[in-house]
Chains A and B, each alone.
Chain A
């Protein structure tokens, strides 16, 4: 079944659209498409991070450098549409950066892009859209927003270009925002988007795709966390097995992620194939073990958002992605309470990681998602018992 285009003829033409322009090729083409479809397009570039720092360190590949804002401006000049830069740096710092650092300090592995979309980007853009009398907000995301003809629920689908699909990052969108959102690239292949950029004469046609987290530079996330937190929140501690054997010392739990093998600094040859399998926060211990210990079949997710109505009377069969590059897996979702769910996979999954988002699909339809709180049967170590036994002697 061919899905109706997000910007189908039923939507009123000449409607005013606030187009979020990152400075990259995708949002540029999206803006051009909307313009040719007859929308009154207003380009907006959000400054999220200190662009002076970013501009010095990078010339591309991340949001918010002055280069990107200038690229977005040039595109808007070419399309003859107004262009504004809006400053969301304080909100970004409060909502995204602080969360990012805080999560790592709690030995979780955050996904700032999901949070930025869900907590900041869309709510901020909708507010700006109201201020500027725009009916819609549009972005260059690869995902399909399908508005119902009768004013009912709006649905979110995976993009046609599966390799570029960004629906994972958008699971937190709620109806009030989604019903006013356009994603003109949902039906397009990235290769065609680049071709269209050339056809439209957009200077950003050959600009490389952004890859990394926009505020993390060459120093990597570890350096970023170190620069943005005090030392005493990042103490070193023991590396242990789940049996409680101490194998070495770690340099602060934030430096490790579930499934990591390299850089553990374990000396003994029999430990060379050990992976990070969990954290014991109370003991500040890094738990390691052989690869099979990474394979787990059930997780708990909290703060879930459901895009459409979902009926939980029976468990829901769906597929789930436990990180953005995960090959999704068959599962059953069971409602626990409020907005928490338990997810049972048909097959064990590798490296289920607290702090990441889990996103649920039925076919190409995005049901919603939540934040992985942990495993149903958490990885533990006997170390605590041993330590406390030792203490009572």
Chain B
């Protein structure tokens, strides 16, 4: 059984943590890797070539997300981009003589939550409030409207879709509420890019952040798209690149492959996530029918087509994950953690879930190449494992 771990037979259901590189793009990847070695800042032929790759990528992605390529900045990933947005909001408020006030949802990715926490501890006058969520995992819009009457926030930061539950937030309503109060909004789109049609309207949203590896591009590439003016930003990393706002030689291969991967989804060269919806609907139906005591998180809310986050009452989710791994099934307990520290999910806690149920929860997130037969195997493995773990 462990053999399957090392072979291609493994069932990979952890796309929300990271997506495999699409093999359809193998040749493209190696050609970019081999030809894009010039420093984009160099004046010679290879420098120009790299610059052109970067520019093309920026233009493509900017168009895809309704942003101005002149105000798109490449980063080392979405974590850097999220940190940068919060950092800039705080510095801007301070520059304008205000005590910075941030409102971040209670279910943000840890990169945002920890950056906010850090800023609040670094600067005494920074206030960070948490925007509560409903039991179904959607942000509480009534609470938002209420909170906006109490404080003049410098930024509201919300995940477009939560990485753990897959719950998609009512971004249009959120931005409308914030626009009325003239509050800048940051939407972390890491989990929605290429998974659901990109319909985020122009109005109201100042910052969008993205990550390459969640769609299969190489790790280490993120994008911050600013709508409006670049002067909203204060650099975290200094250097002359990217208008002096984000120093460091651009990651030519990563950036190019980010755009090419996105383009491949768009033009149908690689399969989309669309069919995942059917798989997950069927999976969730059979799962709840065959295994008692399963609770699917975020039921009733709009969710990503590829995500099922489920609690198995009366067992330990980490044991279930280990058991699944030994059977060749790759899933996750939610937010990936390198140290293996195993505290209950802050997302589920914010949704009012008990610590016991939170600890029993496992996330299955599929991708373009996932098949129903893989889910069938998963259902079989789960029914055996769950009954073993419950005895």
- State whether these chains interact: yes
Nearest Cβ in chain B — how far from A311, in angstroms? 37
CB distance from B235 to the nearest CB of A (A): 30
- Of the candidates B2, B6, B319, the one whose C-beta lies within 8 Å of that of A128 is B319
CB of B322 within 8 A of CB of A132, answer: yes
Is B389 part of the binding interface, using a Cβ–Cβ cutoff of 8 Å?
yes
Interface size class of A (residues with CB under 8 A): 10 to 19
Contacts of A30 in B (CB 8 A): none
Q: In whole angstroms, how far apart are the Cα atoms of A42 and B388 in the complex? A: 18
In the assembly, what is the distance between CA of A131 and CA of B324, in Å? 11
Task: Please state if B340 and A85 are interface contacts (CB–CB under 8 Å).
Answer: yes
Q: Is A257 an interface residue (CB 8 A)?
A: no
- Chain B CB within 10 Å, residue with most, of A66, A130, A131: A131
B323 within 8 Å of A (CB atoms): yes
CA distance A87 to B316 in the complex (A): 11
Interface of chain A, helix or strand or loop or mixed? mixed
Query: What is the chain A residue whose CB lies nearest that of B384?
Result: A133
Q: A80 vs B168: C-alpha distance in the bound complex, in angstroms?
A: 39
Contact A82 B5 (CB under 8 A): yes
- B341 touches A (CB below 8 Å): yes
Question: With a CB–CB cut-off of 8 A, which chain A residues contact B340?
Answer: 45, 47, 69, 84-85, 87
List residues of chain A with CB within 8 A of the CB of B342.
47, 85-87
Q: For the complex, is B318 an interface residue (Cβ under 8 Å from A)?
A: yes
Cα(A177)–Cα(B213), bound, Å: 45
**Residues B322 and A51 in contact, CB atoms below 8 Å apart:** no
Q: Does A40 contact B (CB under 8 A)?
A: yes
Please name the residue on chain A nearest to B316 by beta carbon: A131
Cα–Cα, bound, A45→B342 (Å): 13
Indicate whether A85 sits within 8 Å of B325 (C-beta atoms), given known contacts A131-B388, A131-B389, A132-B319. no
Contact with A along B311-342 (1 / 0, CB 8 A): 00000101100110110000000000001111
Q: Report how many residues on chain B are interfacial, defined by Cβ distance under 8 Å.
A: 16
A84 partner residues in chain B, CB cutoff 8 A: 318, 322, 325, 340
Residue of B nearest to A70 (CB): B339
A residues less than 8 Å from B318 (CB atoms): 84, 86-87
Q: Give CA–CA (A128, B326) in the complex, Å.
A: 13
A154 to chain B, nearest CB (A): 24
User: A40-B2, A133-B388 are known contacts. Are A82 and B325 too (CB-CB below 8 A)?
Assistant: yes
Determine if A131 and B319 form an interchain contact, defined as CB atoms under 8 angstroms apart. Answer: yes
A51 and B323 in contact, given A40-B2, A131-B388 (Cβ under 8 angstroms): no
- Asked whether, in the complex, the Cβ of B326 is within 8 Å of the Cβ of A132, the reply is yes
How far apart are A19's CB and chain B's nearest CB, in angstroms? 13
Contact B323 A82 (CB under 8 A): no
Q: Which residues of A lie under 8 Å from residue B389 when comparing CB positions?
A: 131
Residue of B nearest to A84 (CB): B322
- Asked if A51 and B339 sit within 8 Å, CB to CB, the answer is yes
Q: Which B residues are in CB contact (< 8 Å) with A51?
A: 339, 341
Main secondary structure of the interface of B (DSSP, over half): helix
Chain B residues near A69: list those with CB within 8 A. 339-340
Give A128 to B323 CA distance when docked, in angstroms. 10
Q: Which residues B321-379 have CB closer than 8 A to chain A?
A: 322-323, 325-326, 339-342
**Min CB distance, A261 to chain B, in Å?**
43
Contact B323 A132 (CB under 8 A): yes
Q: Which chain A residues numbered 65 to 101 have a C-beta less than 8 Å away from chain B? A: 66, 69, 80, 82, 84-87
Q: Which residues of B contact A66 (CB under 8 A)?
A: 339
CB-based contact B341/A42 at 8 Å: no
Contacts of B6 in A (CB 8 A): 80
Within the complex, the shortest CB–CB distance from B71 to chain A, in Å, comes to: 38
Q: Which residues of B contact A130 (CB under 8 A)?
A: 388
Per the bound structure, the CA–CA distance linking A220 and B274 in Å amounts to 59
Q: How far is the CB of B211 from chain A (nearest CB, A)?
A: 25
Contacts of B322 in A (CB 8 A): 82, 84, 131-132
- Chain A, 6-44, CB within 8 A of any chain B CB: 40, 42
Cα–Cα distance between A51 and B338 once the two chains are bound (Å): 13
Q: A132 CA to B319 CA in the complex, in Å? A: 8
The residue that B339 contacts in the complex, of A80, A82, A85, A86, with Cβ under 8 A, is A85
Q: Please, which residue of chain B has its CB at the minimum distance from the CB of A83? A: B340
Bound form: Cα–Cα A131–B319 in Å: 7
Contact B326 A42 (CB under 8 A): yes
Bound Cα distance A45, B322 (Å): 13
Give chain B residues whose Cβ lies under 8 Å from the Cβ of A128.
319
Docked CA distance A82–B326 (Å):
8
Instruction: Report the Cα distance A66→B5, complex, angstroms.
Output: 25
Q: How far is the CB of A82 from chain B (nearest CB, A)?
A: 6
**CA–CA, A85 and B342, complex, Å:** 9
B272 to chain A, nearest CB (A): 33
Mark out the residues of chain B between 1 and 30 whose CB falls within 8 Å of any chain A CB in the assembled complex. 2, 5-6
Residues of A within 8 A of B323 (CB): 131-133
CB nearest neighbor in B for A44: B322
List residues of chain B with CB within 8 A of the CB of A47.
Answer: 340-342
- For residue B339, give the distance in angstroms from its CB to the closest CB of chain A: 6
A132 to B355: give the CA distance in the assembly, Å: 23
- CA–CA, A132 and B327, complex, Å: 10
Chain B residues whose C-beta falls within 8 Å of the C-beta of A132 in the assembled complex: 319, 322-323, 326
Interchain nearest-CB distance for A79 vs B (Å)? 12
CB distance from B17 to the nearest CB of A (A): 16
A55's nearest neighbour on chain B, judged by CB, is: B339
Q: In the assembled complex, which residues on chain B have CB atoms less than 8 Å from the CB atom of A42?
A: 326
Within 8 A of A (CB), among B230-252: none
Instruction: Name A117-146 residues within 8 Å CB distance of B.
Output: 128, 130-133
Min CB gap B281→A, angstroms:
30
Complex: how many Å from CA A40 to CA B2?
A: 9
CA of A308 to CA of B342 in the docked complex: distance in angstroms?
A: 38
Within 8 A of B (CB), among A41-66: 42, 45, 47, 51, 66
A47 CA to B6 CA, complexed, in Å = 27
A197 CB to nearest chain B CB (Å): 24
Q: A66 to B6: give the CA distance in the assembly, Å.
A: 26
Chain B, Cβ-Cβ closest to A66: B339
- Minimum-distance CB pairs A-B, first 3: A85-B340, A87-B342, A131-B319
**What are 9 contact pairs spanning A and B, CB under 8 A?**
A47-B341, A69-B339, A80-B6, A82-B5, A85-B342, A131-B319, A131-B322, A132-B326, A133-B388
Instruction: Given contacts A87-B340, A132-B319, list 8 more A-B pairs with CB under 8 A.
Output: A69-B339, A69-B340, A80-B6, A82-B325, A85-B341, A87-B342, A131-B319, A131-B323
